[in-house]
Amino acid sequence: MADAKEYDVKIYTGGEKIDTGEDYGLFYTPTLVEIKPELCEDLSKAPFLWREEAFGPVRSITKAKDMKDAIKLANASNYGMRAVVYTSNLNNIEVFKNQLEAANIYINARPMLVDITVSLGGIKDSAYPAGCKYYPQELVYGKFIYDGTPQNLEKIR
């Protein structure tokens, strides 16, 4: 949040630091920010909230021009724990599933907070085994995809 004003980040909710009371240690109230797409294109110049993986009630969103742009923006990250996509174009869903570089992909659905049946691991610099040079990541890499699009839910009933 420190550079949010410098980058003219739009804060929809939250953004206040918590430093007293029973919520002390959460650091910020639940926060949703929108970052201008042009600020996300060059990762080295992007706001901290776009460059880094935030573990806390802080989420960053941006708008993409099209599917190709959305995939480019998402995959430019050094992290790959989760990706959330909302699209009305059902033809693009398979492309998102196959091309997004994330271990957990949610399409037209709210990410589950905790599901013990799903790995919380990530790819790239996300989560375990981040930084472990000798871990056989290519042997265990997998994706969890939750597609909440209504017609896809009908298929599994």
The C-alpha R_g of the chain, in whole angstroms, comes to 17
Helix (H, G, I), strand (E, B) or coil at 90: helix
In this model, does residue 154 exceed pLDDT 70? no
CA–CA gap between residue 143 and residue 24 (Å, rounded): 35
CB 33 within 8 A of CB 11: yes
Q: Which of 55, 98, 47, 97 is nearest to 77 (CA)?
A: 47
How does pLDDT run across 17-43, given as a tens digit for each residue?
888 877 676 678 889 999 999 999 898
Pairing of strands 10-13, 31-34: antiparallel
What Å distances lie between residue 59 and 139, 147, 149, CA to CA? 31, 21, 22
Domain boundaries, the chain: 1-63, 66-157
Task: Return the SS3 of 34.
Answer: strand
Range with the lowest mean pLDDT among 7-21, 48-62, 98-112, 132-146?
A: 132-146
> For the segment 107-137, what is each residue's pLDDT rounded down to a tens digit?
888 776 555 555 566 788 876 554 445 445 5
Structure-block tokens of residue 47: 């706001």
pTM of the model: 0.71
